């Protein structure tokens, strides 16, 4: 396995304590925080633009199950995203687990501590809660807008960390 295939956009803010290895691509203006691990040793990991992976998160991919995180996605503290697809504008709550083969639609909210089982299909705009996780209802337009506000907040955090010298650079 070639652990040195990491590609990070110049505008992305990845703190020095984060671990990225294998086939990992991080998009423009992303924020990857302290002790996050993105391990693309068995399949690829892609993080879209303006997304944030918060402290102590793990993103991993199994053979045949890439982890694809869309644009403007928030992955909350201590979450595990494993071999699944997360749609644009979605928030994966703190401590949640999203398992292999799952497809989470756009602008969804996966509530804190939820366990999204393998191969689930979550429709766009859903509120998902529980263990095992279930779609509870559709999000309101106000709630969907707030998902982007969360992403915007962490864009600011990333810029502040860069200014403070906490962000590392990657070679092209």
Number of domains in the chain: 1
172 is a domain residue: no
Instruction: Domain of residue 103: give its range.
Output: 7-164
Q: Is residue 28 part of a domain?
A: yes
Within-domain flag for 106: yes
Q: Does 41 reside within a domain?
A: yes
pTM: 0.95
Q: What backbone torsions phi and psi does residue 42 show, to the nearest 5 degrees?
A: -110, -25
**Does 170 reside within a domain?**
no
> At residue 172, does pLDDT exceed 90?
no
Enumerate the β-bridge partners of residue 67: 45
Mean pLDDT, range 116-123, rounded to an integer: 98
- pLDDT tens digits along 6-59: 999 999 999 999 999 999 999 999 999 999 999 999 999 999 999 999 999 999
Residue 2 lies in a domain: no
Tell me if 91 is assigned to some domain: yes
Query: Cα angle vertex 47, ends 80, 165, to 5°?
Result: 90
Strand partners for 121: 103
Segment 127-158, tens digit of pLDDT: 999 999 999 999 999 999 999 999 999 999 99
pLDDT digits (tens, 9 = 90+) for 68-113: 999 999 999 999 999 999 999 999 999 999 999 999 999 999 999 9
Alpha-helical regions (H) of the chain: 141-163
Answer yes or no: is 30 within a domain.
Answer: yes
Residue 32 belongs to domain with CATH number: 2.160.10.10
Pick from 13, 6, 1: which is nearest to 159 by CA? 13
pLDDT of residue 169: 86
How far apart are alpha carbons 152 and 51 in whole angstroms?
9
């Amino acid at each position: 396995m070639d652990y040195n295939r990491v590609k990070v956009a110049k505008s992305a803010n990845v703190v020095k304590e984060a671990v990225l290895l294998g086939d990992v691509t991080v998009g423009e203006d992303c924020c990857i925080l302290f002790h996050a691990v993105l391990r693309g040793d068995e399949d690829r990991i892609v993080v879209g633009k303006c997304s944030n992976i918060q402290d102590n998160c793990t993103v991993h991919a199994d053979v045949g199950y890439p982890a694809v995180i869309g644009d403007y996605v928030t992955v909350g503290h201590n979450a595990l995203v494993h071999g699944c697809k997360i749609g644009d504008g979605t928030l994966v709550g703190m401590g949640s687990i999203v398992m292999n083969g799952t497809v989470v639609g756009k602008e969804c909210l996966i509530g804190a501590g939820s366990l999204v089982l393998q191969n689930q299909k979550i429709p766009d705009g859903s509120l998902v809660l529980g263990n095992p996780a279930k779609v509870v209802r559709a999000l309101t337009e106000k709630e969907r807008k707030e998902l982007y506000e969360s992403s915007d907040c962490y864009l600011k955090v990333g810029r502040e960390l860069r200014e403070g010298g906490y962000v590392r650079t990657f070679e092209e």
